[in-house]
Structure 1
Amino acid sequence: MGRKFFGTDGIRGRTNEDVMTAELAMRVGQAAGAHFRRGDHRHRVVIGKDTRLSGYMIESALVAGFTSVGMDVVMTGPLPTPAIALLTREMRADLGVMISASHNPYSDNGIKLFGPDGFKLSDDAEMAIETLMERDPELAPAEQIGRARRIDDASGRYIHAVKQSVGAHVRFDGLKVVLDCANGAAYQVTPAAIWELGAEVIPIGVTPNGTNINRDVGSTSLAAIKAKVVEEGADIGLALDGDADRLIVVDEKGQTVDGDQIMALIATRMAEKRELSGAGVVATVMSNLGLERYLRGLNLALVRTKVGDRYVLEEMKRGGFNVGGEQSGHMIMLDHGTTGDGTVAALRVLASLVREGKPASELLHLFDPVPQLLKNVRYSGGKPLENETVKAAIADAEATLSGNGRLVIRASGTEPVIRVMAEGDDAAQVERVVDAVCQAVQDAA
């Protein structure tokens, strides 16, 4: 059975349209609360958010939903997604909720749910909650309605935890770091953590106003940080997204370093210290073939999953891996957290920069990427990938690349977009293949 509300990363949509309304948020609270209300203890949910204007509305609706079914609510205010996962475990909560649409514009919002272990919910758990959302809620008796409160020490707890991820002896003194927080959830905590470890921090994207999250800043809009790194003569630039679960790096020359190179660096250093478990790294089908070849040269495996950090995490747990991520910048290090954490990844990169004494352009260029091209085709309705002409174009493209590269076609889980990616040793061939498939999708859409 298909899912009506949950996509690849929780529930997401345009605010006050489609699924992202106050009414639906309250239903989520009631259904998720009912699903996790087990035993006779006082049940607790931790709710965090990013800096979107609609966060107030969604938060209030969730609080109403959870308290109406007898759950107590702890609100943290703006904090990164991994901070909510951490606090859910530390506070022995039954459930954690992050209100965010990640890298999407401010007009969108989303709801991500974490279980008591701090991990994102399984498909089965989300389906169970969807089923409950379709039913009338089991409201708590008047004397059992939940209470709601805000806590003031959530930021400090998270800052302490991420600093511990690089060890007490590590210092960043002498480093000049441009840090772009996307006017999002990490605008206070990440600059504080890096500054406390000794670096000179030049922050951008740290003045949220409710409507400027991800606007011309952050990991999906790098022009500002690239210019700032070069202008300031900084050692490195670090760009987070709206909820700070992903990281993209800019080297001292202003060049982009994606998640594949970051994974290569982290895996290499951990393998050298015999800290890498699973004899490899987990990534998605979107990661570059160059990363796979590089790891193979170190006798390490690259295990691929479908797109989505939740699927990376599932494979990491199944196979006993402690490092995984996505080319887009999600970095999951299970020794330090239960979900992608851009700040922890940033600290690990800075620690290597200090330890190796190399410029970022050298440290973070461990392999030459195979030519890779990704294009997005927006469609207005229907199912373009089921069109016979599109199927034929995909088959032709796969035959063309056979033995020389890869083709990955997928529908976005959060917006009406078909993503077409190809890679191979012949850049011109890759471009022809992608353009042919995109044209077929456009004609069918």
Structure 2
Amino acid sequence: MSRTLFGTDGVRGTANAYPMTAELALMLGAAVGRYFRNEHSGVHRVVIGKDTRLSGYMFENALTAGLTSTGMNALLLGPVPTPAVGLLTTSMRADLGIMISASHNPAADNGIKFFGPDGFKLSDDVEAEIEAMVLAGVRPAQPNNIGRARRIDDGRFRYQERVKGTLPSGLRLDGIKVVVDCANGAAYKTAPEVLWELGADVVTVGTDPNGLNINDNCGSTKPAAAAEAVRRHGADVGLCLDGDADRILMIDENGRVADGDQFMALLAARWAEEDRLKGGTLVATVMSNLGLERFLGDRGLRLERTKVGDRYVVEAMRAGGWNLGGEQSGHIVMTDYATTGDGLMAGLQFLAEMVRTGKKASDLAQSFERVPQLLKNVRYGDGPLPLDADNVKKAIRDAEGLLTGKGRLLIRKSGTEPLIRVMAECEDEDLLSQVVNGIVAEVEAVA
């Protein structure tokens, strides 16, 4: 069964333009409500969180209308990180969870992510079934079975206690100065409060959301402001979250940025030493650097690669019985603690390692030497997909020939934005630039 509404992480797009309209959100709410109400008996509940985008109010109301029309009782959490929705779906015994967020995208975009009753994101097959229900129409509940909606005021605090509980008992962050960039997003209260409660000296960036400034020159996609704050305040470390706080980048005391690959390397090695890394395996996507794979191999560990999307990482982890995975972009998934990527929880694990070892962030955040990697994005319009053009296909074939035995090439369409992503790795940086720029030029010619 095909999926056209859903991308790599739910439904996403520009607010008030298809598919992110209030009308479609209402239909999605009705469809997912009917789907999960059919699966379970008794009281039917859905928890709904959102980030700080202005359009979140509109989608929250539309989803609530659709859900209650099929008999679901909506529990509204307000602004909370995406991982909080996964956690509270299970702890509140809900039938499903919904997060309204476009993650790292600009404020004009929004999205809808779904979690099943187990707190994990839905599979492709389930999303396809829900999409079919949207197209076919959904039978509403009888008048006396219409659901109710209520605000849940303490959802954020429940999540904060869970996050703090992932640290070893008694561990505190006293004496550590931390810059935390919340991207003017969902964790703008949660992250500073958790760090302060654990004893850190906290400097905040991106904690003044106004509905329109989420991810605006801040957060994990634009870490320059946080890096500058680290240097200006003489901080020990910086934590850069994205708009819904399910990903993180680390910044050392010198302002140098470390991505998710470096964090996964640190944690995998540490967990392996403690015999905690299940199956001696780390799960990451095809985007992760070859240097990470070599780092793991040198320690007798293996890297299991998946297609791009933290949802696919989690699916592979569950299928293989592995407990650590993530993405280069900063999604870090630790299924011993959470059902999805959790930026704040991952940041605390890094801080705990600083406390445990007494080492500086710069000593922990660069575990391996990266193989030169170049990634460029090309935005395209409403016409034919550029990857189908003959000139682009030829450029890709030529590049693959040049890289044979020297590196690797990855070309893909983004699942969250109208972008073609062109990535290559190669020790020869001149060749690397040649193949990537050559493909980009051909894509731009038809985009």
- TM-score normalized with structure 1 length: 0.99
Q: In structure 1, what is the Cα distance between the partners aligned to 2:181 and 2:60?
A: 26
Which residue matches 1:182?
183
**Counterpart check, 1:208 vs 2:209:** yes
1:28-427 equivalences under 5 Å are: 28-38=28-38, 39-380=40-381, 381-427=383-429
Tell me how far 1:291 sits from its aligned partner: 0.5
Q: In structure 2, what is the Cα distance between the partners aligned to 1:136 and 1:246?
A: 35
User: For residue 418 of structure 1, what is the amino acid of its counterpart?
Assistant: I
Identity of aligned residues (%): 59
Which residue matches 1:7?
7
Tell me how far 1:401 sits from its aligned partner: 1.0
Q: In structure 2, what is the Cα distance between the partners aligned to 1:21 and 1:256?
A: 37
Superposed CA RMSD: 0.9
Query: What CA deviation, in whole Å up to 9, does each residue of 1:337-378 have, x standing for no partner?
Result: 000000110000000011111111111111110100000111
Q: In structure 2, what is the Cα distance between the partners aligned to 1:211 and 1:345?
A: 27
- Of stretches 24-33 and 189-198 in structure 1, the one that deviates more from structure 2 is 189-198
Tell me how far 1:404 sits from its aligned partner: 1.4
Tell me how far 1:14 sits from its aligned partner: 0.4
Name the SS of the counterpart of 1:97 in structure 2: strand
Name the SS of the counterpart of 1:41 in structure 2: coil
Tell me how far 1:96 sits from its aligned partner: 0.1
Tell me how far 1:168 sits from its aligned partner: 1.7
Name the SS of the counterpart of 2:278 in structure 1: coil
Q: In structure 1, what is the Cα distance between the partners aligned to 2:41 and 2:310?
A: 34
Tell me how far 1:253 sits from its aligned partner: 0.5
User: For residue 127 of structure 2, what is the amino acid of its counterpart?
Assistant: E
* Runs of 4+ with >2 A deviation: none
Tell me how far 1:4 sits from its aligned partner: 2.1
- Of stretches 132-141 and 220-229 in structure 1, the one that deviates more from structure 2 is 132-141
Q: In structure 1, what is the Cα distance between the partners aligned to 2:89 and 2:371?
A: 40
Q: In structure 1, what is the Cα distance between the partners aligned to 2:82 and 2:324?
A: 18
- Of stretches 274-283 and 235-244 in structure 1, the one that deviates more from structure 2 is 274-283
| Unaligned residue ranges in structure 2 (runs of 5+) | none
Q: In structure 1, what is the Cα distance between the partners aligned to 2:198 and 2:169?
A: 10
| Unaligned residue ranges in structure 1 (runs of 5+) | none
Tell me how far 1:40 sits from its aligned partner: 3.5
Tell me how far 1:236 sits from its aligned partner: 0.3
Q: In structure 1, what is the Cα distance between the partners aligned to 2:314 and 2:438?
A: 33
User: For residue 371 of structure 1, what is the amino acid of its counterpart?
Assistant: P
Tell me how far 1:248 sits from its aligned partner: 0.4
Q: In structure 2, what is the Cα distance between the partners aligned to 1:49 and 1:379?
A: 28
User: For residue 108 of structure 1, what is the amino acid of its counterpart?
Assistant: D
Tell me how far 1:444 sits from its aligned partner: 2.8
Q: In structure 1, what is the Cα distance between the partners aligned to 2:8 and 2:356?
A: 37
Tell me how far 1:169 sits from its aligned partner: 2.1
Q: In structure 1, what is the Cα distance between the partners aligned to 2:396 and 2:136?
A: 41
Q: In structure 1, what is the Cα distance between the partners aligned to 2:102 and 2:388?
A: 28
Q: In structure 1, what is the Cα distance between the partners aligned to 2:137 and 2:120?
A: 27
Q: In structure 2, what is the Cα distance between the partners aligned to 1:205 and 1:266?
A: 27
Q: In structure 2, what is the Cα distance between the partners aligned to 1:94 and 1:148?
A: 15
Name the SS of the counterpart of 1:335 in structure 2: coil
User: For residue 149 of structure 2, what is the amino acid of its counterpart?
Assistant: A
Q: In structure 2, what is the Cα distance between the partners aligned to 1:240 and 1:10?
A: 20
Name the SS of the counterpart of 2:245 in structure 1: coil
User: For residue 29 of structure 1, what is the amino acid of its counterpart?
Assistant: G
Query: What CA deviation, in whole Å up to 9, does each residue of 1:281-321 have, x standing for no partner?
Result: 01111100000000101110011111111111111111111
Query: What CA deviation, in whole Å up to 9, does each residue of 1:192-217 have, x standing for no partner?
Result: 11111111111111111111111111
Name the SS of the counterpart of 1:324 in structure 2: strand
Q: How many residues align?
A: 445
Name the SS of the counterpart of 1:134 in structure 2: helix
Which residue matches 1:22?
22
User: For residue 279 of structure 1, what is the amino acid of its counterpart?
Assistant: G
- Of stretches 381-390 and 400-409 in structure 1, the one that deviates more from structure 2 is 381-390
- TM-score normalized with structure 2 length: 0.98
Name the SS of the counterpart of 1:37 in structure 2: helix
